[in-house]
Structure 1
Amino acid sequence: MSSEPLSAATAPSGDSILSPRYRATTVGMVALVSLHAFEALAVAAAMPTVATALDGLRLYALSFGGTLATSVIGMTLAGRWSDQQGPARPLWLGLACFIAGLLVAGLAQHMPVLVLGRLLQGLGAGAISVSLYVLVGRCYPEALRPRVFAAFSAGWVVPSLVGPAISGLIVQHLGWRWVFLAVPLLALPAAWLLRPALRQVQTRTQAAAPGNAVVRWAAGAALAALLLYVGGQQTGLVAAALMLPATLALLLCSWKLLPAGTLQLRRGLPSVIALRGIAASAFFGCEAFLPLLLQRERGLSPLLAGVALSLGALGWFSGSWFQGHQGQGWSRRQLLHAGALLMCGGIIATALALQPGVPLWLALGGWTLTGLGMGLIYPSLSVLTLSLSPPAQQGANSSALQLSEALAVATTLAVSGSVFAMMLGVDVVLGYLLIFGVMLGLAALSVVVARRV
């Protein structure tokens, strides 16, 4: 029996991702993506209340950075296991860790216990995300993959619009614990829909688990990311003493974990994987500081600042939908180049919000353009990674794609946060300009790297 029963060779040309043979798999995967997105956004909205209730403001930053760090381990292990044994085992183990982390966090009586739950969540979320990518590669023909990744983007958009508001209602009327405890009730039925597809793509030849060397490098990257995140919250010599060795350790671990040539921007797959980290850093770096800018410098309420972020999410979804349905015959390289240029223009327009005389709609339009560019880039890189990978390496390369993002974004946020904190006592406007300048430089680098895929 073939390990790819739903391959491009057997897929009818008129199939869609919601045709009977794919419907349960599509719904299950998008539901898991949506639940992960809702949990991430809802927790972000509820965490100030959680930290106050558990007297844990000192661990506030670690409760966010920890999930990103441990996701590196989950991604690495899931990628190797998926190639060796199929995506079923890493997905179920990832789901178990994710749910266990939610239960630990939801029942925590002290902040350190909640942080432990968040670390488990990150481990599971990383494994789930890579397993889903491999499942797309094994189950869907190449022509349908852009639409699957567009559906994944849609699975993030709705939670980004309603997640914080729903989280506020849950915290107000049910208590913050239900922000964590409600998600497992929906995650299990969603994963259950994937059982038939996971059985079909299960690799028949069982191989050994990932080697100890891979596990050590992944753990080292996670610890370095945590140290970098903690260092970013410090100031002066303490910050430098923590961040410098952490950055060097991250570079070494990245060199060991990512495909050869990624850090050198070698043409082909290495540039595809590198571009994911570069473009994601530019987008999420801006997103981290935009609400602060809009509230502190332009006087917007938290609600309206959240609406501004939603415009970026809508732009992202629009770009993702276009790349999956466009009939103009644009190549993936053209889509990447156009997306990177849109990000450059969007970041410039967004940064104009620093000038009081600039109409706010111009900055918000710029952020929508930035999201539109990411919508063209993000799923295109996922499609290219699967297309450029033989089936036996889809797990490792999907893992590398997401590792590139996690490591690059963690580094960018930690460094930019440290720079901004340093500039608070000197010139706040200059601090914003430095941050947006760095993100614009990353977007411009994306234009260059997009030509190398």
Structure 2
Amino acid sequence: MTPSTKTTSRPLVIASIMASMAMVAIEATIVSTVMPQIASELGGLHLYSWVFASFLLAQTAMTVVFGKLSDLYGRKPVMFAGIAIFLAGSVLAGFSWSMPAMICFRLIQGIGAGAIQPVALTIVGDLYPARERGKVQGYLASVWAISAVVGPMIGALIVQKLSWGWIFWMNVPIGLAAAAGFWLYLHEAPTVRRSSIDIVGAVLFTVGIAALMIALTDFGIGNTGSAALWTAVFAVTLVLFVLQERRAADPMVSLRLWGARIIATVNGAAMLGGMVLIGITTFLPMYVQVVLQRSSVTAGLTLTMVMLGWPIGATLTSRTFHRVGLWRMVLIGGALIPLGTAAFALLSSQSTPALAGVGSFVMGLGMGVMSLASLILIQEAVDVAQRGVATASNVFSRNLGSALGATFFGAVFNFGLTRGDGAMAFTDDQLRLLLQGSHGSAATDAGIRMALGGSLHLTFVTMLVVSLGVVALALLLPKEGLESHAIGAGKPAAK
């Protein structure tokens, strides 16, 4: 798609892109910081991880669909649709009356985010040649770093001074400003492009992942019969999905592309890395606030260190990969992830939040190194004509890992809280009173913190095991020249 550069104001369009992406970025950090208070008020602690998983599931499933719709109908209308859906979900989420309602409205937000992120990056690709795109991507990356710093502090202030609903409602003016910028300053040239959308594949994927997430949740709370049923649904859907992707003219997931060794290992590492990252994002604030008995601001700052380490790791990679080698950078980044995760497994009730902050920084550093090196690696390993789909596969893998990780670690968390008789170690009301400062007896409060600390420790140890899989996959990367690993019949991309 070729934009009309005569009338398009590139700086103002980029400002609109940064505003639209800021909604998604700030929402992630704010929600993860204040979710313990929201969960304690709404109840349904066993559904805690679904608040994150529903968003990520919808975002992951819809990313490819909206990307193709933008090819068919243009970037502007799809971006408008994404912003409108995201704002509708935000407004409704602020009025949530229960955890199931919150999960539903977060899913709507995720659908909108599934349009905003890929289409925003596509607009950048339309407006800027490759030699200028790196600087613009740096501006977009700064949005996530700034949001990581500002988000937790804004969330803490909103919870203390206003209703928690404002963490969602604050998106409305930002989204309207972004939409106005696109309307006024982005002018696309007319284009006609034919493409097929694998709707059946998208539906099967969504149903399959949802079934897997429900199975994990039921297993975590001891509903083994229901878990087995949903596992069977997942298995059947998986078979149908593979058959559909084999026969689809334009499949949602290219099985041929994923079958290449470089793509499979790099995307597998991205998926496991995404699982660990969402696990820390979901459960670290709860540990710091309840077990370490620190404020939500402190909890947010420990989590912020992930996003501070990420751009540093990416910057170091961009300056050294041509000397060190891409596969070595992937291995270095992969090794830093379990090193950082180990700090969380070492946390105890006597620990200082600084240990959690150091672990977050090291983990973010590793994610920054691995993500950029992986992206360059897969782009250079395929034909030029396949770079777009290869890049999308990497983003897709990380999002899929986040969706699965939120539910998987939520199941581990629920399993750790379940006593031998199948009951939870404490009630939602007890946790709510503890978070709100209305302490019960010293013995009761200590018991809640001990039970929660034990469950979270089990969750962190499981994250450490999963993060070791990132290293294992990185070791499987081929170390010889990339030319011999180009995928497809054409010539490999020029170095």
TM-score calculated relative to the size of structure 2: 0.73
| Shift in Å, 1:227 | 2.2
Please name the residue that 1:448 is paired with: 475
Gaps of 5+ in 1: 7-19
Please name the residue that 1:322 is paired with: 316
Please name the residue that 2:2 is paired with: 3
Q: Which moved more, 1:311-320 or 1:360-369?
A: 360-369
SS in 1 for 2:81: helix
Letter in structure 2 aligned against 1:282: V
Letter in structure 2 aligned against 1:445: A
Gaps of 5+ in 2: 246-251, 421-453, 483-495
Please name the residue that 1:418 is paired with: 411
Q: Which moved more, 1:169-178 or 1:358-367?
A: 358-367
Check 1:213–1:247 CA distance in 2 against 1; reply closer, same or farther (3 A cut). closer
The structure that has the greater radius of gyration is: 2
Contact preservation (8 Å) 1:41, 1:163: yes
Q: Are 2:56 and 1:68 equivalent residues in the alignment?
A: yes
Kindly provide the CA deviation profile for residues 222-260 of structure 1, in whole angstroms up to 9, marking residues without a partner as x.
533552464365225246425633653675577544222
Q: Are 2:304 and 1:310 equivalent residues in the alignment?
A: yes
| Shift in Å, 1:86 | 4.3
Please name the residue that 1:435 is paired with: 462
Contact preservation (8 Å) 1:146, 1:380: no
| Shift in Å, 1:158 | 2.1
> Partners of 1:58 and 1:66 in 2: how far apart?
14
> Partners of 1:211 and 1:236 in 2: how far apart?
34
Contact preservation (8 Å) 2:50, 2:407: no
Contact preservation (8 Å) 1:232, 1:417: no
| Shift in Å, 1:363 | 5.9
Letter in structure 1 aligned against 2:30: A
| Shift in Å, 1:100 | 1.5
| Shift in Å, 1:287 | 4.3
> Partners of 1:217 and 1:69 in 2: how far apart?
13
Please name the residue that 1:12 is paired with: none
Q: Which residue among 194, 218, 229 is the counterpart of 1:207?
A: 194
Q: Are 2:232 and 1:245 equivalent residues in the alignment?
A: yes
> Partners of 1:312 and 1:353 in 2: how far apart?
17
Kindly provide the CA deviation profile for residues 177-221 of structure 1, in whole angstroms up to 9, marking residues without a partner as x.
322222121122224434578534x67114356243234234324
Identity %: 24
Q: Which residue among 155, 163, 168 is the counterpart of 2:143?
A: 155
Q: Are 2:206 and 1:219 equivalent residues in the alignment?
A: yes
Please name the residue that 1:235 is paired with: 222
Please name the residue that 1:122 is paired with: 110
Q: Which residue among 179, 185, 189 is the counterpart of 2:177?
A: 189
Please name the residue that 2:128 is paired with: 140
> Partners of 1:365 and 1:110 in 2: how far apart?
35
Please name the residue that 2:255 is paired with: 260
Check 1:440–1:73 CA distance in 2 against 1; reply closer, same or farther (3 A cut). closer
Check 1:143–1:366 CA distance in 2 against 1; reply closer, same or farther (3 A cut). farther
Q: Which residue among 367, 381, 395 is the counterpart of 1:402?
A: 395
Check 1:399–1:254 CA distance in 2 against 1; reply closer, same or farther (3 A cut). farther
Check 1:27–1:80 CA distance in 2 against 1; reply closer, same or farther (3 A cut). same
Check 1:141–1:196 CA distance in 2 against 1; reply closer, same or farther (3 A cut). farther
> Partners of 1:184 and 1:449 in 2: how far apart?
46
| Shift in Å, 1:122 | 0.9
Check 1:209–1:103 CA distance in 2 against 1; reply closer, same or farther (3 A cut). farther
Aligned pair count reads: 436
Check 1:44–1:203 CA distance in 2 against 1; reply closer, same or farther (3 A cut). farther
Letter in structure 1 aligned against 2:130: E
Letter in structure 2 aligned against 1:224: A
SS in 1 for 2:261: coil
Please name the residue that 1:11 is paired with: none
Kindly provide the CA deviation profile for residues 32-78 of structure 1, in whole angstroms up to 9, marking residues without a partner as x.
22221112332334445555666666755433322122223321311
Q: Are 2:269 and 1:275 equivalent residues in the alignment?
A: yes
